[in-house]
Structure 1
Amino acid sequence: MTPVAPLPRPAAGRGGGLRRWYEDGLGWATAPGSPVRLVTGLRFDVLDVPAEAGAAALRCLDPRSPVALHGGRMRFLVAAGGADELPGLLEWLEWGGLDLDLAVIGAGGRMEAPPPPVPARRSGPREAAVWLRPPEPGSEVEASLPALSAPGGGGGAADLVRLVDTMANECHRVRLRRACAQPLAFS
């Protein structure tokens, strides 16, 4: 009888191992299929801004708050429900009505799952998602996410209002810089 070679096992990289890292290590839900995508609205929502604008917002976040880079966009994880608060916050902060290039991914959404951080090297294509500030398995990640604070609350998480105001301001600056860089059209 001819020996039968075992079937190849799936690679632990972008598929099974990545999914296990999120589901087992962090307790985060993933959507079925490939590539691995994180389900938003359960444990966190996402504020999505141009990377140029997001760089300034990094300073007002708790260093434990996860931030991903995907293409030319930064994705800031915020407390679940934060996506629903964004339109009202922008109006209250007097940013409503402006095209700020500030997007949200909330309940029922998906975010491409960056691979776990690998020290001293960046793998994958330039457009692939990567963690700038990765979540720490075994830690209470959600406690560090920006959220709306109760009046007089002294929670350890960053204030969502301050983060949104900073992001809106930086998105507006990026928009103005891009507009000024374009040649004027005279008739």
Structure 2
Amino acid sequence: MSAWLRDESPLSPAQSDIDERRTDIFALLRDEGPHHTAQVTAPGAGWLASATAYPRSTLALWEARPTAPAVLPCGTVFDIVNVPAVFGRRMLDRLWEDGPGSGPVAVHRGRMLLFTAPGTAHRLPSLLAWEEWGNAVPPLLCHGTGDAVTIPPLSPPSASGPRWVVAPDTRQPWLPGPEVLLWACVRAVRTASAADVRVSIFPPADQDAKVYDVSRRR
């Protein structure tokens, strides 16, 4: 049996575990430090499999091929908001620094997949349309009922391909709803705008250096 399938992680992490996850997510976003928040646990795998029509068969397939990606349906157990990677990183910064944290998050083909509460894919575009800053948010792909997405392997073969940023680690992970995602989008846009202003006022001394990455500023 695969190592991740033998994991017996607690279903409800204690406050100290939540604080540790916050520390780990910041380290992961900086590409340094321990990354164990990116490891899918056995309860997390069970939660993912529950989105399929045949959870036991799905788990058996994952046990046999833990490094293979999987396609899961959306709309019942979770929705997914698919955002550009840089903007998604800004959203995660805001969610973990100023907000309630995030649900599971994966990176696939240069985009971030944010797992959200069912119904978010339907409501979020409407909320953004009414939001003053909505036009500044890059195009989002919202996957809900009738859609399916490819998720990273439970045990990725390498760190360079699709991977989990915040892996599911319980049988009932907390999932943000449309209002939380709207808040994160707006805060990410405002933060980026403020950073752009600071850079324009105080440009890097070495103009020949590589492009200043405002997304890495905190």
Provide Cα deviations, 1:39-91, integer angstroms capped at 9, x if missing partner: 11111111111111111111215446100000110111111000101221112
Equivalent residue number for residue 94 of structure 1:
132
CA–CA distance in structure 2, aligned partners of residues 112 and 87 of structure 1: 22
Provide Cα deviations, 1:10-36, integer angstroms capped at 9, x if missing partner: xx8xxxxxxxx699711532379x962
The letter of the residue matching 1:140 is: Q
Q: How does 1:1-187 map to 2 (within 5 A)?
A: 25-26=46-47, 27-30=49-52, 36-59=70-93, 60-61=95-96, 62-63=100-101, 65-96=103-134, 100-116=138-154, 118=155, 122-124=156-158, 126=160, 128-137=161-170, 139-141=171-173, 144-148=174-178, 159-166=180-187, 169=189
SS of aligned partner of 2:185? helix
Please state how far the C-alpha of 1:148 moved relative to its aligned partner: 4.5
SS of aligned partner of 2:157? coil
The letter of the residue matching 1:82 is: T
Aligned CA distance change for structure 1 residues 125 and 135 (closer, same or farther; 3 Å): closer
CA–CA distance in structure 2, aligned partners of residues 24 and 100 of structure 1: 31
The letter of the residue matching 1:165 is: V
Deviates more, 1:97-106 or 1:67-76: 97-106
CA–CA distance in structure 2, aligned partners of residues 133 and 96 of structure 1: 26
Q: State the identity as a percent.
A: 31
Q: RMSD of the alignment, in Å?
A: 3.6
SS of aligned partner of 1:29? coil
SS of aligned partner of 1:132? strand
8 Å Cα contact 1:22-1:28 kept in structure 2: no
CA–CA distance in structure 2, aligned partners of residues 40 and 22 of structure 1: 19
TM-score by length of 1: 0.59
SS of aligned partner of 1:131? strand
SS of aligned partner of 2:169? coil
Higher helix share: 2
Please state how far the C-alpha of 1:103 moved relative to its aligned partner: 1.5
The letter of the residue matching 2:91 is: A
The letter of the residue matching 2:78 is: F
8 Å Cα contact 2:74-2:148 kept in structure 1: yes
Provide Cα deviations, 1:82-115, integer angstroms capped at 9, x if missing partner: 0101221112212455672222111111111222
TM-score by length of 2: 0.52
Which runs of 5 or more structure 1 residues have no equivalent in the other structure? 1-11, 13-20, 150-158, 182-187
8 Å Cα contact 1:87-1:96 kept in structure 2: no
